Structure 1
């Protein structure tokens, strides 16, 4: 009986370990950065990029983005809206995204020469991997509708070059009668829909792709000025006519001929003919994020945590600076100046300072570097000076209520406020030097392209290079930060649980406001010195405890898996062989008598 209990427990333990030790498929990922599979978008990573992109029958529109870029966050809902609307086009073209803020993806972003976010690249079908093949750039428009129009024009151009010939033809032509419009009629086509529109209209092209998976159905674009429009009785445009298997025509133009109404008219007509429409395999939106949302821990809102500074510095070295294909001239000098002010004023702990000094020394050996060379140097020196960064490093005060909020942008503001205040304590005008280094960093390295341009415009308007004194440098950055907060208040990128306010708030610093609400600049200056001159070294683990399963070492799981398997085998062997051992012992005893 005890043996049976032992076996059952072993099997149970074995099953648990098998379930917990499952290693996810590296080719597919459900969510990364600003997007998930439920958005009808292909999530690309360094592990699956080649497999998903190259040699595919369909074309791709790939967005290279940066998850902490404000413009990317604002563009994401538009890209998702487009993906949802053109989901039926997936046999022809798919939308895909790659988050360049993820360190492992950085090499691909360098290969595709991505220097602005978001960057849209059209990759035609059967795309071949090559250093010269970086796709054709499309504009990140301000609406999903404009982006869709741009995409249709691109596909029309592709078909004129002999590509996407398996897709419905988007050509438009003029016809005299029904017979000439439908001929030559493929044998398997039962119903042909004629869309009468002008050459610049995209509605017919959209409809052709919307019904591309309707069997035995085709759609053709017809010039609205052709003779056929009079023959078919089309009086307003875009017009819709259905042609049956016996060339009988039916006018279907709705009163308001929008694309959606025209599509409804097509579907209604087909249903009246007992035609079975294809099922759309559209996944429902994942609402679990709203159910599982947990508000972040309440923290002192203006405090500076070392973990925020450290993670920001690591991100800048691992992903932002190394995204460049080549650094030379002004961008190279901007990098050296950034490292110099870090050495000058960063509140280093452990081996981090020696690491940054060594990095600066090595980068001074030549005046041109590729991004991949810098990345290799960064990683090599981290090994040399290990440990450099804290393990499981994460944001604390800069952590947003959702991953798409705050994070690195908050950390970068915090970093330069801290550098400016610390540099101001040194002899000379080092605070002003930090401002110049910040300008160079934002201009050449900050991943949000629109944000970078806004900052450069503001810096020129507020005369950043005229700042000479330390106290003015501190106040200049504070004024500029509040100017950005004012511009972004209420923006789609604003974290609803961390609204953009004019800081410091009256709660945090009552003496910073005068009776009529004006700023008390001496009090503000003193407050900024106190806040950014005092670094809290709270461990990130105190802010958020990690999931015990997700942080298990995979090697330990493997050992437990093997150990459990061995126990199971021994238990089964013992159960099936124990009677043999007893029999031999009994026979041996009789032999001695």
Structure 2
């Protein structure tokens, strides 16, 4: 029985820790700067830090703070804003905090070498211990800068590890056909958006992919630059988003990416409404071979129906507006060529 005692004690120590998630209320006596319910921030303590962060299936961005620290209190609103902006990235990275002013957490903070507040660290996915934490030096950064710094870490980690269950944030390379583009995308995804970023130093396309990653089973998003084969085939030379529907090589091209592209793609993923999703400026077809294939409404009338559908009410409104507003602007009576043109226009609307 005496020989078993050390093993029993060892098991007790191992089981004392636990892995926690958002909404956890940390142990300790000191007040915290963050709310477990209102803020999308995972609050850790001595009992949960190691079991939650190490060998985890996600990366972690962690702030080590002291509740009495003036710098920390000033920084807290920025960190909250940052956390709210990346809350949809939880499958990839979780945002967490640890209150080092609380004596309860003294050991965890000491092990992480925290000597000033606030201290920010990034722990890659599957970190084995404190040695894997990467410290940030930009303590007075805005939420925007913090997001960019986080994206840089995620990009670097993905480039090295290529996790299969992380969103594919790598750039397209030699893909030049329709079938190439869909390789590796879940069959449940009905749409594929390709983002050509103009200002990649701001990581906008990566942010977009991470923001919409929860819709990956409906909408896949890939990145491309202007030197890729696809960009040359599609003659894309400026920031743009191209959207394909599965089993349909017709694409919708939005020549400029506006601030509402996030909402539009989210709408496409949730409702499947391609008309509300993107403001169309041109339509063409992606080849299933290495060259562009010809396409017309005569050959593919079913595709034209979805692209150019308009209701009878819309047509009647257009006719009325033309007759009562546009026609009178010409002045006088219509004769000869002008009258023929008007008749042809009315016939077109009726047909």
TM band (smaller chain): 0.5 to 0.7
Shift of 1:61: 0.6
Q: Of residues 225, 228, 239 in structure 2, which corresponds to 1:223?
A: 225
Q: State the distance in 2 between where 1:173 and 1:83 align.
A: 29
Q: State the distance in 2 between where 1:120 and 1:149 align.
A: 14
Shift of 1:118: 1.0
Q: Evaluate the alpha carbon distance shift between residue 46 and residue 181 of structure 1 in structure 2; reply closer, same or farther with a 3 A threshold.
A: same
Q: Evaluate the alpha carbon distance shift between residue 60 and residue 147 of structure 1 in structure 2; reply closer, same or farther with a 3 A threshold.
A: same
SS of equivalent residue, structure 2 residue 76: helix
Over residues 245-296 of structure 1, what are the superposed CA-to-partner deviations in whole Å (9 max), with x where a residue is unaligned? 12424335375623xx111121233355269xxxxxxxxxxxxxxxxxxxxx
Q: State the distance in 2 between where 1:165 and 1:141 align.
A: 35
SS of equivalent residue, structure 2 residue 107: helix
Shift of 1:47: 2.3
Q: Which runs of 4+ in 1 moved over 4 A?
A: none
SS of equivalent residue, structure 1 residue 57: coil
Over residues 437-477 of structure 1, what are the superposed CA-to-partner deviations in whole Å (9 max), with x where a residue is unaligned? xxxxxxxxxxxxxxxxxxxxxxxxxxxxxxxxxxxxxxxxx
Size of the aligned set, in residue pairs, is: 246
Larger radius of gyration: 1
Q: Evaluate the alpha carbon distance shift between residue 251 and residue 30 of structure 1 in structure 2; reply closer, same or farther with a 3 A threshold.
A: farther
1:177 touches 1:227 (CA, 8 Å); kept in 2? yes
Shift of 1:73: 1.3
Shift of 1:213: 1.6
Q: Evaluate the alpha carbon distance shift between residue 41 and residue 268 of structure 1 in structure 2; reply closer, same or farther with a 3 A threshold.
A: same
Q: Evaluate the alpha carbon distance shift between residue 115 and residue 30 of structure 1 in structure 2; reply closer, same or farther with a 3 A threshold.
A: closer
The within-5 A match list for 1:28-67 is: 28-29=24-25, 32-37=31-36, 38-67=38-67
Over residues 379-412 of structure 1, what are the superposed CA-to-partner deviations in whole Å (9 max), with x where a residue is unaligned? xxxxxxxxxxxxxxxxxxxxxxxxxxxxxxxxxx
Shift of 1:115: 1.4
1:232 touches 1:241 (CA, 8 Å); kept in 2? no
SS of equivalent residue, structure 1 residue 79: helix
Q: State the distance in 2 between where 1:184 and 1:103 align.
A: 52
Name the structure, 1 or 2, with higher relative contact order (CA <8 Å, separation 6+). Answer: 1
Q: Evaluate the alpha carbon distance shift between residue 164 and residue 66 of structure 1 in structure 2; reply closer, same or farther with a 3 A threshold.
A: farther
- More strand, by proportion: 2
Q: Evaluate the alpha carbon distance shift between residue 109 and residue 134 of structure 1 in structure 2; reply closer, same or farther with a 3 A threshold.
A: farther
1:168 touches 1:212 (CA, 8 Å); kept in 2? yes
The within-5 A match list for 1:108-123 is: 108-123=108-123
Q: State the distance in 1 between where 2:166 and 2:121 align.
A: 20
Q: Evaluate the alpha carbon distance shift between residue 264 and residue 232 of structure 1 in structure 2; reply closer, same or farther with a 3 A threshold.
A: farther
TM-score in terms of structure 2 length: 0.63
The within-5 A match list for 1:155-166 is: 155-162=154-161, 164-166=163-165
Shift of 1:54: 2.2
- More helix, by proportion: 1
SS of equivalent residue, structure 1 residue 35: coil
RMSD: 2.8
TM-score in terms of structure 1 length: 0.38
Q: Evaluate the alpha carbon distance shift between residue 78 and residue 249 of structure 1 in structure 2; reply closer, same or farther with a 3 A threshold.
A: farther
Are 2:68 and 1:68 aligned? yes
Q: State the distance in 2 between where 1:195 and 1:209 align.
A: 13
Q: State the distance in 1 between where 2:234 and 2:140 align.
A: 38
SS of equivalent residue, structure 1 residue 74: helix
SS of equivalent residue, structure 1 residue 61: strand
